[in-house]
Structure 1
Amino acid sequence: MLIVMRPDATPQDIEQVNAEIRRRGWQPHAIPGGTRTAIGITGNRGVVEPEPFRVLPGVADAVLISQPFKLVSREVKPEDSKFQAGPLVLGGKSIHVIAGPSSVETRDQIVGTAQGVKKAGATLLRGGAFKPHLSPYEFQGLKHDGLALLAEARRETGLPIVTEVKDTATLPQVAEVADILLLGSRNMQNYALLEAVGEVRKPVILKRGISATLKEMLMAAEYIVARGNTRVILCERGIRTFETMTPNTLDLNAVPMLKSLSHLPVFVDPSHGIGMRKAVPALMRAAVAAGADGLLVQVHPDPPRAISDGHQTLDFPEFEKAMDEVRAIAGAIGRDVARLG
């Protein structure tokens, strides 16, 4: 159920609706819009009768929601969501590019990468401090030292930081440094972590699980939003299919589908999406043409020597060239690629 308030509804009108929802044992969720506020209801186990809410002061309508992912559905909020991340506004016409290495390795590596990707036009820096891998014997990241190096790179360049959250135990330390939290594909259905991130008031990038459907991805986002954190970005990063020529298959169908189903911004990770360095620029272009609101691209000063994911990582000249191509695609479809400052 969605309670749509009139544009002239007062704070007292909104609180009266919230109080009525709580009285029935449910939870209200305010969803501000361009011209009016809507209030979503969760916690109900059956159909909510609309009439008791339609007669309350300030209410324009009470609408039944057909999708199980209530709060992230475009039925609840027809216009695209936009929100702040550091000095940036994510969502909307401008496309943001997040770039950096898979893993933070050294000070020179991460600061140098931040300077390089900023020069090429990236607006955010990515880098893994905590690195969950399939094998326990692979590099697991510099952990807290990595977070400190990311913070130094931000001070040097002004680029906001995107880094992965591995688990609930390290979430507070990561959230203290990161401007945007990243939930990797392996954690898409880690419900304890989804709920914990929902309590943190920082933007979150939610990557699609490697075998997850779009509905499952949207339901994972619902866990976060239902806990009060509405600043969620959906990220398509490639799925597992029958194809063996590439590590993953980038599902570009997901971009228009997610944007039709949800008001949340949709980003694409072309590096993981195909897992092959030479093909990453083509998928950057394709993702923008398909309507993506942002890109996550792996970039390293010397990809063959990268500790992790060098096979799908661009060097600086490759990234700079790819950014020029992405700008051309964005302009052709009436959008632009954001720059910092």
Structure 2
Amino acid sequence: MLSGVRESRRDKLFLAFNYFYVFFAFAIVAYPIIYILSASISDPKLVGSGEMWLLPKGITFEGYIRVFENSSIWLGYWNTIVYTVVGTAINLFVTLPAAYALSRKDFVGRNFFMAMFMVTMFFSGGLVPTYLLVKELGMINTMWAIVIPSAASIWNIIVSRTFFQSSIPKELQEAAQIDGCTNLRLFIKIILPLSMPIIAVMALFYGVGNWNNYFSALIYLNDADKYPLQLVLRQILVLQEMSAQGGGAMDSSTAAALNNKAEIAALVKYAVIIVATVPIIAIYPFLQRYFVQGVMIGSVKG
């Protein structure tokens, strides 16, 4: 507020409502995160009974110990890092040139190609035809089955095209052509250095998607040593829950053992969630401004 300007009663009420709304929204978003983090280091008996509802109680790191004792966790981390780095590089290699070409008015047939791209946003071949195609290409049970089918996102191409249309002056392209600069050299030497904001935005979008991707691995990968982190953690969680289940008649010692397994399974469940999300949560604050900028880019022009 400007100094010396008095706020009316209506302005004060509106400001108070905004503060209340922001706090309420923050609480809704923050509570699940705090709860899961607290539950991952709390006594599972207190979590199950509802005594632990926000801050940790009966602190124990048994869940994390059990998760990280599994060597497949580290292999899954390595696989996910490889898939994310290679996949994001392929995504950028496909998305940026396509978006730049579609942004140029002298590209013959750009409206036709853009319309064909748009069709794929609403219609797809489906899972079975896609699987058969990947199989015929010999990519089953390889890294390429994870990174190639999702090499480009049409929405990201549209956002990148909007950036090139609104942020790269046409006069720059004309000046480079007068100086004898080829289209490839123009793109590599001039356009890309001026496009670092959209490159960072696309790297963030694609990187988060590749990190969290597990469905492609679930469909196309057969060897456990090629599983990404998300699939490894899912497997651990399922096995923990299955081992904690029992049925039929049992004595008191067996029932106690099964109950203990169930508590450990619950503890591992929360630890698994934290292990899978901490890397992205740690990186995102440093890239938040690029994320916001990417949203604004997409909202300027269609």
Smaller-chain TM-score bracket:
under 0.3
The structure carrying a bigger helix percent of its residues is 2
- What is the TM-score normalised by the length of structure 1? 0.21
The structure carrying a bigger strand percent of its residues is 1
